[in-house]
Amino acid sequence: MVLLLTFPEKTGKIKIRKTTREVTDLYSEQQQMKNRDTAQLMIEEMKNEIEKQKKLLDKRDHEIENLKRLLEEADARAEQTVRTTPANYGESLDMVYEIISDLKKYTPEEVLFYAALLLAGLMETKDVAIYMVVNKDYARLFSSTSSEAAALGHSIRYSAMGDLYRTLEAGRIFANEDMVPDLPLMASGVYAEDEIQVLLMFWGLSGQQMGPSSVKRLTVISTLIQNALLRAKRCMAGFRRHNCMEGTSVLNEKAFTTLTRTFLAARAKGLTECTLAEIVMGYQDYDVIASKISYNIRQTDYMGIMDGRKLYILLTNTDIENADAVKERLLKLGYQCVLKETI
């Protein structure tokens, strides 16, 4: 655009004259330049987006190829497993959840017994033990499916079990590949807030049953059964608090009778040992006697009343022969007892 400057002789002021067409041409030229810049920017953005999408598609194609390869390898392993695994190796994993759900039909005090039977079936062994962790060092046997499974004893110092302890502390499944004596062939833990609460131990397994597929299987089983076992343990821990008669450590008759029958039923299935000790009370009340003997029985034993306010002790994981030691301790405190195997 051209500006015309005039200098009038009289006023000396500068005048600028421009035509409407000139202004229109100027605006049109600026707009065209702006439009070209915008179009060029859009083209660059589109090119970048196309390049980005191309890279994503290439990446996805690569991932798909990897997935196909992994699936082909998995299929090959599965076919090999079918050829090498015995037909009676156990229920398929898609049935594990359904089987474990059966624990819902049991009361909390029953779960820890019948979980041992369930685990034995799922892992295809007759030798399973469940230990309740007492503290960071010791655990006590709660239930077992055979004498072999209980071979470590009623109380174990699991923190001294070397590789087993380190493996479970790391949250992994223990497999005794080196066949170390005095250790189970496989073991897993049940955890709450990264602390071991329950120990699951397995014997009577073949070498094939200790391979990677069994480790994965036990991992799934332990995860699925975890909530049921932790809930049962919490309920058992609160059992005394909720059912003891006021001011005593003695269970009321209904709770104690139910608990005793549960232990006796489990004993009949070979899942535990237990013995009843009836205290000869004389003329003393149960609460007076209980206060004197409560510090001389184990934390895992239960005191309660039955048969018209008679005082009993339920000696858990104790057969009638080993119960004689308890009988002697009570006698030293001045109390006689009668050992019983039934109610």
Question: Could you tell me the CATH superfamily of domain 241-340?
Answer: Reverse transcriptase/Diguanylate cyclase domain (3.30.70.270)
pLDDT tops 70 at residue 64:
no
Which tokens in the block code for residue 101?
A: 């759900």
- Model pLDDT, residue 38: 63
Question: Each residue of 8-55: pLDDT tens digit?
Answer: 554 444 444 555 555 455 555 665 665 666 666 666 766 666 666 555
pLDDT at 105: 86
Question: Which residue ranges make up each domain of the chain?
Answer: 1-84, 93-237, 241-340
pLDDT score of 312 more than 90: yes
- Residue 240 pLDDT: 85
pLDDT at 100: 76
CA distance 188 to 173: 5
Residue 66 has pLDDT above 70, yes or no: no
Indicate if the pLDDT at residue 91 is higher than 70: no
Question: Domain 93-237 carries which CATH code?
Answer: 3.30.450.40
Residue 34 pLDDT = 58
Per CATH, 93-237 and 241-340 having the same topology is answered no
* Percent of the chain's residues with pLDDT above 70: 72
Sign of torsion, CA 153 159 163 164? positive
The predicted pLDDT at position 88 comes to: 43
Q: Which residues contact 6 (CB under 8 A, 6 or more apart)?
A: 14, 15, 17
What pLDDT score does 128 carry?
97
Task: Look at residues 276, 279, 286 and name the one whose alpha carbon lies nearest to residue 323.
Answer: 276
Judged by average pLDDT, the poorest of 10-19, 140-149, 249-258 is 10-19
Strands 138-144 and 155-157: antiparallel
- Which token pair is 305? 């009343």
pLDDT tens for 283-305 read 889 999 999 998 888 888 999 99
Q: What mean pLDDT is predicted for residues 113-121?
A: 92
Of 33-42, 215-224, 225-234, the range with the lowest mean pLDDT is: 33-42
What whole-number distance in Å separates Cα of residue 319 and Cα of residue 275? 6
Are the CB atoms for 71 and 97 separated by under 8 Å?
no
How large is the average pLDDT for residues 234-260?
91
Res. 107: pLDDT tops 50:
yes
In the chain, the percentage of residues whose pLDDT exceeds 90 is: 49
pLDDT exceeds cutoff 80 at 125: yes
